[in-house]
Amino acid sequence: MRRKKIAAGNWKMNTTVPEGVKIVQDLGEGSFDISVDIVICAPATHLDALNQLELPKNILFGAQNMYHETHGAYTGEIGAPMLQSIGITHVILGHSERREYFNESNEMLGKKLRTALDHELIPIFCCGESLAVRNAGAQNNHVIRQLKESFGDLEGSEIAEIIIAYEPIWAIGTGETATPEQAQEMHCDIREFLRSEYGSDVADYVPILYGGSVKPANAKDIFAQEDVDGGLVGGASLKVDSFAAIVNSF
């Protein structure tokens, strides 16, 4: 079975609700290959309004983060049941900005994965190395360690519910992209890790997205790689024309 093709947009902390609604409405008027899942990861304040818009079935919504506890005295946090209660299907976990600015560790992300899966949210689990790690040639070990430490004792059937996003930190928001060959090399390694730990059915099923300065000019070459199943797109997902062009790059 061919893996799902996914174009996910990570809006980060951008747009007001009316601006976000406009982007999604305009996107909904575009013509896309319906076999591509379009997952808009908007700020939490936007999700309910966006999810109530009349849209093609392949436009889905995700949160950018959630807490590992489901409820309680955690001021400012958002729990999985809250996302579930407004029909949200996806959640980004472990984005490098969360790891860096909010000290999210592999261990904490393991707890978040557990909670998301328990609430039928599809995690878009981010991994990726810094420039220093890449310059030291240690990127593959680094990324596999991130996955190992967060996946913990999750079962293969649970891993099969996850979407992995490989996002080299040096390529995020910098305009510098991994070459298609660099992306393929890492994606292939991630898939081989999945194969050795969870078997071929899981390895061949889990979508692995590339993220880091994906734009219309480079999406086609990156998406054409054997083990690249789509993209997690930041800046270029905020403009309808560029995101639509990326969605149509498969």
Q: Which of residues 80-139 bind ligand PGA (CB under 6 A)?
A: none
Q: How far is the CB of 230 from ligand PGA (least distance, A)?
A: 12
Q: How far is the CB of 174 from ligand PGA (least distance, A)?
A: 7
Pick one of 211, 244, 246, 247: the residue that binds ligand PGA (CB under 6 A): 211
Binding status of residue 10 toward ligand PGA by CB under 6 A: yes
CB 32 within 8 A of CB 61: no
Residue 170 three-state SS: helix
DSSP H helical segments within 104-199, as ranges?
Answer: 106-118, 131-135, 139-151, 156-159, 180-198
Looking at 68, 129, 167, 187, which residue is catalytic?
167
Binding status of residue 9 toward ligand PGA by CB under 6 A: no
CB 7 within 8 A of CB 164: no
Which residue lies nearest ligand PGA, judged by its C-beta?
Answer: 234
Pick one of 147, 208, 228, 232: the residue that binds ligand PGA (CB under 6 A): 232
C-alpha 153: how far from chain center: 21
Alpha carbons within 13 angstroms on the beta-carbon side of residue 93 total: 33
Report CA-CA distances (Å) from 84 to 60, 129, 183, 203: 13, 31, 32, 27
Known catalytic membership, residue 167? yes
Looking at 46, 68, 90, 95, which residue is catalytic?
95
- Based on CB atoms, which residue is closest to ligand PGA, 170 or 250? 170
Where does this chain bind ligand PGA (CB under 6 A)? Answer: 10, 167, 172-173, 211-214, 232-236
